[in-house]
Amino acid sequence: MYLSCEFPVLKIFGFGDGSVNMDGEAGDILYASYLSMARAGLASLEMWDPKSQKWGQPHSQARFSILQCFLQAGDDFCKLEHKEEDMSDLVIKLDRSKILTTGRDGTFTPWPRLKPVLT
């Protein structure tokens, strides 16, 4: 996630012209990848077994950990909202304008504390 913010790298894959532009095609790809990772972090909970307190798949644990980094990054970068008690209306809110600042920092600086905690 951290390196996906490099616009010259996105250009190699045919997205954008290499310049930093969150409103262009490369910015769309970057936003979609961050939002997709947040969604994957939520979906990874299907692999958590509360009885054994273990993850069924290591990549699911990693995705959940990245979601936790997004949520803990601060500055309202990423948050989960719902009105229904059963969370059937859960929505992921991810601030596109903060991907290159709060979001990028949030995915890089917390690596030492990536142990996921279910609360």
- How confident is residue 119, by pLDDT bands cut at 50, 70 and 90? very low
| pLDDT value, residue 106 | 78
Alpha carbon distance 20, 42 (integer Å):
29
Examine the pLDDT at 2 and tell me if it is beyond 90. Answer: no
Enter the pTM of the model. Answer: 0.85
User: Distance between CA 9 and CA 79 in Å, rounded?
Assistant: 28
Q: 48, 60, 65: which is closest to 1 by C-alpha?
A: 65
Q: What proportion of the chain, given as a percentage, has pLDDT over 90?
A: 75
pLDDT of residue 82 exceeding 50, the answer is yes
Burial (CB count <10 Å: 0-12, 13-18, 19+), residue 80: middle
Q: Which two tokens stand for residue 101?
A: 């600042």
pLDDT score of 10 more than 50: yes
- Domain positions in the chain are 3-112
Please give the mean pLDDT across all residues of the chain: 89
16: left (phi > 0), else alpha (psi -120 to 50), else beta?
left
Mind listing the pLDDT tens digit for each residue in 21-52? Answer: 999 999 999 999 999 999 999 999 999 999 99
Each residue of 15-24: pLDDT tens digit? 999 999 999 9
State the alpha helices, DSSP H only, in the chain: 7-12, 25-43, 58-72, 104-108
The counts of H helices and E strands in the chain are 4, 4
The confidence score (pLDDT) of residue 77 equals 96
